[in-house]
Chain A
């Protein structure tokens, strides 16, 4: 699971510098995986979208490989 902060700026900061926009505007967060992180942010009035994602086949590598061969 991970949380990604999305800035209003489309271009990736170059040379390791951080967009000032990112630091000076309210964060908007896409949370992928564990819902508890999204819930915590929501409780702090942070704009967050939760994506209910988990590894295919519960992380079973053999089944995931089979699925990759049997699905579009």
Chain B
């Protein structure tokens, strides 16, 4: 066993390496392809979901609702009741997206026929995937599952997905590092505010999309769909985050967090030096603002893989760059938004050289969450999030801020101590 000074020094070296890999990530949006082409293990009756592992009996309402919807969408059941009945009898295999280089927002369901955005990290060569954002309102990611939801998914599968794939292939991909840098200067934090990045993406993609889609009516529908969805970029930011963080995994002794995610029941984190183990705790309720007609009694506990954007230093960590979002999620004043970013600097190891915050004199966003700093200070990651209705089939009811549970980080630290024979 190393002495304390050597051990601390070895951890410092491991974290320097982890931070270097994180900061040098060069994500490029390269394609959109059917999930079954990208994830060979994804076959019939296998469903990937957001968050750490969970089985049907512990799933929350919107997760169950979305599963019933996607099972009907895939043709594995005749109707929603049949789908839920089959799910309760163990007819489907459930796995986290994170186990397959994928992420998904809110319920985050990924099944074989859905088209996935492909982001390639050009520095490390790995790829990560995320579904295409469905738009606002009643959508599957918030537990929506009726015919309108399934029809939209079918249109994404049959029309938008292939067109986006063809456009991206023809233009050689869209580098995301500079696009996000610009979006930050325009007031996005890439979790609850993506209006700038969605617009910038559409501007880059539209010419190639126009070449790829022969029918003007189809093209018009696609441009209108993307142009009317301020959150279209969120799913791209998520795949980007996953492509950046996966190469940070498995660095011996590193205490850097490589994933934070939630499934509506549990919050889970992974830590570089602790392999594929999940450290979980009950997920917390978001505090936020509600759409007209809804209130906190309607809210489901927090969920989604979208916390991957906080893991790389965006979202709540970059709140100071996006003062407009502070009001939207009920986080308070502009000064309070800056305060949240300042607190996140207390638990991170570095700053991004290109992703900067204008009103902090171009200081880089805080990145590289260290479980030691979280446990020592008691400051937990702040996450900007959407709020789903607790009942299946209803959808989004608000947006807010939620804290990562401290217990996840304490468990991870204890596990590291045990592995090192310090307990």
CA distance A68 to B410 in the complex (A): 14
Q: How many residues of B contact A (CB 8 A)?
A: 19
Q: How many residues of A contact B (CB 8 A)?
A: 14
Per-residue A-contact encoding for B403-421, CB less than 8 Å = 1, 0 else? 0000000100110110000
CA distance A68 to B372 in the complex (A): 10
Pick the most buried of A58, A63, A66, A67: most chain B CB atoms within 10 A of its CB: A66
CA distance A66 to B422 in the complex (A): 7
Q: Number of A-B pairs whose CB atoms are under 8 Å?
A: 47
- Inter-subunit contact A67/B12 (CB<8 Å): no
| Shortest beta-carbon distance from A64 to chain B in Å | 8
A57 at interface, CB cutoff 8 A? yes
- Inter-subunit contact A66/B417 (CB<8 Å): yes
B-side contacts of A70, CB under 8 Å: 7-8, 11, 255, 372, 413, 416-417, 422
- Inter-subunit contact B414/A58 (CB<8 Å): no
Taking CB as reference atom, which chain A residue is nearest B371?
A: A70
CA distance A60 to B378 in the complex (A): 11
Taking CB as reference atom, which chain B residue is nearest A72?
A: B8
Chain A stretch 20-48: residues in CB contact (< 8 A) with chain B: none
A61 at interface, CB cutoff 8 A? no
- Inter-subunit contact A63/B413 (CB<8 Å): yes
Taking CB as reference atom, which chain A residue is nearest B5?
A: A72
- Inter-subunit contact A71/B422 (CB<8 Å): no
A69 at interface, CB cutoff 8 A? yes
- Inter-subunit contact B375/A67 (CB<8 Å): yes
- Inter-subunit contact B378/A66 (CB<8 Å): no
| Shortest beta-carbon distance from A61 to chain B in Å | 13
Pick the most buried of B11, B255, B413, B423: most chain A CB atoms within 10 A of its CB: B413
- B9 interface neighbour in A54, A66, A72, Cβ under 8 Å: A72
Subset of 17 A-B contacts with CB under 8 Å: A56-B376, A58-B378, A63-B410, A63-B413, A66-B414, A66-B416, A66-B417, A66-B423, A69-B7, A69-B417, A70-B255, A70-B372, A70-B417, A71-B11, A71-B372, A72-B8, A72-B9
Interface residues of B (CB under 8 A from A): 4, 7-9, 11-12, 255, 372, 375-378, 410, 413-414, 416-417, 422-423
